[in-house]
A and B are shown apart, each in its own frame.
Chain A
Amino acid sequence: MGVYIIRRLLQTIPVLLGVTALVYFILFQTGDPTFLMVSTDASREEVERIRRELGFDQPWYIQYLQFLGRAVRGDFGVSLRQGQPVFDLILERYPATLELTFAAMFIALALALPLGVISATRRNSAVDNLAMAFALVGQSTPVFFLGIMLLFVFGGLLGWFPIGGRGRGEPIDELRHLVLPAITLGTFSVARNARLVRSTLLEVLGQDYVRTARAKGLTERVVIWHHALKNALIPVVTVVGLEFGTLLGGAVITETVFAWPGVGSLVIKAIGQKDFPVVVGTVTILSASFVLINLVVDLLYGYLDPRVRYR
């Protein structure tokens, strides 16, 4: 197990290096940022001086290494528009995005598991057809459209939930603000995972050991929840890690719909203002979180399924 953890940790290093290089390469295409930082009436000498001071006169690989050296220390530069360090801006909004993402993940798992199990155990029944129809529709609905429809019906028409923002202070108020965005973000994952649970469970139910368990006279409930589901969940756990990628990306869209004060709405605003350090910082930090969450999921996976460790 120890070797597995160390090997898995070492594997994330090149990926993180690659991600920063990719993001930096994208940034490099924007050209020299000096002009965005000096006033329009600055003299040529002054522009040159600032460019040298900030290292923009160096070749790209030197600049990348310098960027990397700063990024490791959490220094992503200063926002061109707000004058604040990028890292502080992101840190301020990061908890909101995590809260939304984890809430969506919770909804996804809490609904997908029972839906998938019911569908698989009552294959081709009305319940199964209904659940799978719901899953197909859920997978086909754009996140932003679902968000707007929920806002229109439950925020506008019925007035049950607030129409945006995160609420402050009281837990009940914060929860009410969280409900619609979390459902919006989670629905796609509910749909995808319900289908996955159903298909893997169906596969497992055809195995010999399930027949043996039934032949022993175990109740159907024990067979399904104890024997079958445990094995059916192995592929689902793998997907959970990757699901965070979808959710972090989807969070950017959900946040703009609900004016949720997370890093997603920050990055969209920064794009509008051509505030590139903020864009680069956000993409790097979100990608790094995704890589780290995947690492944690993989380590858990190695714990759940001993076969993984020996591969």
Chain B
Amino acid sequence: MKILIVDDFSTMRRIIKNLLRDLGFVNTVEADDGQTALPKLQAGGIDFLVTDWNMPGMSGLELLKAVRADANLAGLPVLMVTAEAKREQIVEAAQSGVNGYVIKPFTAATLQEKIDKIFERVDA
């Protein structure tokens, strides 16, 4: 399972990478913006996307929409990990097809729970 982690703050990418490693996901790649992430997704091989929302070039929401609009990527499970906490934003993300939404600051347990949930649904 190869996971792409997208966030413009490298600290956050490191933290998520370490947490995923603890959960047994050792195959991770990173991108610092939606713009650099999309080509990596389109190149193939990525099974799960973890992304922030607020990024200068292409936002996480725009990335999500691009993924859902691409025939090859439409089914990709996407987890948003973000500081954006306004209700209308959460709803917008859900309506755009996000599979899980975690707000910062978060705990390791929450991240694990959401990832497990996403993969339960995918397998079902």
Asked if A and B bind, the verdict is no
B positions within 8 Å CB-CB of A? none
A positions within 8 Å CB-CB of B? none
